[in-house]
Amino acid sequence: MPVFNRREFLSTTAAGLAAAQVSDKKRRVGLIGCGWYGKADLFRLIQVAPVEVVSLCDVDSRMLAAAAEMTATRQTSKKKPRTYSDYREMLKEKDLDVCLIATPDHWHALTMIEVVKSGADVYCQKPISVDIAEGQAMLAAARKYKRVVQIGTQRRSTPHLIEARENIVKTGKLGKIAHAEVYCYYHMRAKDNPPDTAPPANLDYEMWTGPAPLRPYNKLVHPRSWRAFIEYGNGIMGDMCVHMLDMVRWMLDLGWPSRVSSSGGILMDKASKANIPDTQIATFEYDDLKIVWQHRSWGHPVDAKYPWGATIYGDKGTLRAGVMGYDFTPLDKNDQAIHKDVKYELEEYPEDKTEEALERHVAPAIRGHMKDLLAAIDKRGRPVADIEQGYISTASCLLANLALKTGRTLAWDAAKGSIVGDPEANKLLTRPYRAPWQHPNAKSV
């Protein structure tokens, strides 16, 4: 691993501080997907920039109406945004500077590509896609239409994790690094098995399903528990590993893994309606480094302080890092251990105290991510979680799922965007789309 000297460290720190400076230009903003995290992202943006939210889109009429009312109370103008049930109608207006996308994962690709075609810059939630070909098309579209695209892997903008990267990793306190572990032990997989029913009147379930397979409606699907089904996302691997793998790649300046393997399945909770693995291990191989992921949605975490996080091992020390803080433990007992907790910023942003369902410890990271996006838009540059970085982290997790599905270690050719010597696995890089939706193609976006 490279070790930064003092001059490089100071330069990096100054660059990070400069990126936080956002112009006072008024921007017109839209949101596609007005559920839990869509509102969390939107309201953090309102906190840090003089934006006007002009458009909201959702296929749930009740959720859409509530989001419009809440937005009117939060933005300075107190105006209620226009509302749409179809993102294509919203984008026909061609009056957005920035559009946030917080739909379920299976809708990210089609919406993001249409947004950049419409001329807006984008904040898109992670993982960027449900298959690797979608991600390739999204990256191609962002570059073709010269749009700034920030992905919601906001560990890159988490204040205490930026500090850990700069003060621990980049100064060489870990020494030579050859192993990292990323993990999630939250009991987050749906445990229920409710009967299928007719969808509620407020939900356009046909449009909600879109390009995904049309399953019978189940109350687990909407809102929020759709990640229980592989048809709409990538399981805990795509939801939680993508964050921590991306964080380690960012901290250690890593690109693509050369090989990915995985094992696991539904080993414990076979009674749930959920069809995603409750247990999974994956190994991402780099030249002299292995990153190993593990999730269990049952049992105790390995370390109660870090139920979701990363541990980076060097020959001089160990760094444990997560959303609630970090700990550096030096190997030499004469050196000083370092501990840092997350800073909540509740006094600076009092709305955080009362906002329903807000992850208050994550709010500073979202604000930082939004500031970084706006600074990149001002200079027409690449944000810290640029679409290419989101593609690498998402596709790496998708390769792990494909390795689990095929039972084989997959070698990845990043230049060609394909799996080496495995035609059967390469066919799985593209998921079939349900008619009449057409799968995007990187060559023709």
Q: Phi first, then psi: give them for residue 261, nearest 5 degrees.
A: -130, 160
pLDDT higher at 9 or 423? 423
Distance (Å, whole) CA 281 – CA 3: 30
pLDDT tens per residue, range 53-77: 999 999 999 999 999 999 999 999 9
Amino acid identity of residue 271, one-letter, is A
User: How confident is the model over 252-261, as a mean pLDDT?
Assistant: 98
Rounded CA-CA distance 324/338 in Å is: 14
> 168: left (phi > 0), else alpha (psi -120 to 50), else beta?
alpha
**Span 97-137, pLDDT tens digits:** 999 999 999 999 999 999 999 999 999 999 999 999 999 99
∠ CA 372-376-380, rounded to 5°: 175
CATH code of domain 6-155: 3.40.50.720
Mean pLDDT for 262-270 is 98
- The residues near 40 (Cβ < 8 Å, ≥ 6 apart) are 355, 357, 358, 359, 362, 363, 366
Give the burial class of 339: count Cβ atoms within 10 A of its Cβ; 0-12 exposed, 13-18 middle, 19 or more buried. exposed
- Residue recorded with tokens 């979701």: 308
Residue 25 backbone dihedrals phi, psi, to 5 degrees: -65, 135
Say which residues have a Cβ less than 8 Å from residue 435's Cβ, sequence separation at least 6. Answer: none
Reported as half-sphere exposure (CB side, CA atoms, 13 A), residue 226 has a value of: 23
Share of residues in the chain with pLDDT > 90 (%): 94
pLDDT band at 13 (very low <50, low <70, confident <90, very high): very low
Query: Residue type for 144, please?
Result: K
Q: Looking at residues 333-345, what average pLDDT do you find?
A: 96
What pLDDT is recorded for position 20? Answer: 54
Q: Does residue 260 carry a pLDDT above 50?
A: yes
